[in-house]
Amino acid sequence: MTEKILVKDLQKQDPGSALVHLYEFEYAKNTFAYFVDGLDADLSEVTMLDHANNSQTNTYKAIPIQVSGFDRTSATKFPQPILTVANVTNAFKTAVSNEPDYESFIGNRVIRRTTLRKYLKSEGDTNSPPIEYPRDVYYIDTIKGRTKVSIEFALRAPFDLQGVKLPGRSVTPNACGWIYQGASEHTENPEYLRARSGCRWHIESKYNPHYNNTLSAQNVEYTVYVNQDDEYLIPSSISTSLYSGLSGGTAIAKGDYLRSTSTADKFHADGTVTNNATVNDFWQAKIAGTATALGAPTDTNNNYARVRTYSAYSHGTEYFSYSDDKYNDYVTFQDNTSPVGAMTYQKTLMWKVKRASKSVAPEYNDFWTRGDLCSKSLTGCGKRFGFNPKTASSASTQGQADHSTTVVLPFGGFPGSKAFS
């Protein structure tokens, strides 16, 4: 074995070469950046044959790297190394993508290869497989520190179970434990290649029922927004009828939208409050009938389902919150604040008011929160993947109040669901 050659070299008074540590940094699934410690060297690149594919040569860029904690002892505790990478030359930042989302590296591998300098391919060595010690494989556990010139990663061993709860995944009845949109179906984003959960709901809430065989004859992409209360969100431009203005014999079709009024305290951006302000409640008919037969829409009337409305964010417009936050305004807005490469970057997302504001763009702050969060229930999953459009051949955000119950749901609360970590 190749490590025996190294052992013989190191048993000599003069092994004839210095030890070299090479680092392989996984920044996307099975995609690595290659580095060599250039702290005390001349910052020149080195090459070595790939460990798994000996026909491939990897080029390791020299950057200042400082490590600690790789030493093993007789203690039962696994090593928990700290890897500090300097970025004064931008070599690291460029190698892992120009604007890396460092938090997305958590859970990725860091592989350390150790050999003598004379066994590097760049030094003229032709051995295949390459001569090296057994590799050290670790996973990024946390981002321990970050400054303008360096970033510090805390690593853990693959079998380090200290502080790890077993079993790794618990199944809670009727509740999905997966990260919402953790495997979003926008494949142009590298995050999709390293799915963080089994939930494949699109990050922009786009859905094509054709692929779930709910509309086998159609191939249309819809935008489907559902809030944490399992209520569909529809554009505020959609026409609605005031129920109190209808005569008893007025026909209401299945899927028609109606509204009623209620009151709630309204909070303004300047801190003032309008007490008992009139607010609209929006509803969708689940069955057809006359206004008298269906009755007035309420949360206890099973002939209707409550819906909410949203608009596109407009800078300079005042957005309100209410004493009952279910009436808070909803808007869509393109995320331009997340790091380049993040799942949500330049994606149009649904936002909900937390505090009234004016000219405060939606992002994760004191004034806004995501408006399309999942309830983690079967109903929430069914509302999305069982979306039943009002007009099958026309892309829109309008669907029937009742969702399909025949579609196969990627629901993480089933005991047989695939485990993700």
pTM for the full model?
0.59
Q: Tell me which DSSP letter residue 393 carries.
A: T
Structure tokens that stand for 174 in this block: 């009727």
In 3D space, the residue among 112, 92, 108 whose CA is nearest the CA of residue 51 turns out to be 112
> CA 370, CA 330: separation in Å to the nearest integer?
9
Say if CB 412 and CB 197 are below 8 A apart: yes
Average confidence (pLDDT) per 10 residues, the chain, 421 residues: 66 75 88 82 80 90 86 67 80 72 82 90 87 88 81 82 56 75 58 61 81 52 92 94 94 95 96 96 96 95 95 95 96 79 78 95 89 90 87 72 81 61 39
CA atoms within 13 A on the CB side of 176: 24
CA atoms within 13 A on the CB side of 389: 21
Q: φ, ψ for residue 163 (rounded to 5)? A: 80, 0
Say if CB 384 and CB 227 are below 8 A apart: no
- Pairing type for strands 330-334 and 348-353 reads antiparallel
> CA 258, CA 243: separation in Å to the nearest integer?
6
pLDDT value, residue 188: 43
Cα–Cα–Cα angle for 141, 155, 81, rounded to 5 degrees: 150
pLDDT value, residue 2: 65
pLDDT value, residue 256: 94
Which string of DSSP letters, residue by residue, matches 120-155? SGGGT---SSPP-PPPEEEEEEEEEEE-SSEEEEEE
Which string of DSSP letters, residue by residue, matches 252-286? E-TT-EEEEEEEEEEE-TTS-EEEEEEEEEEEEES
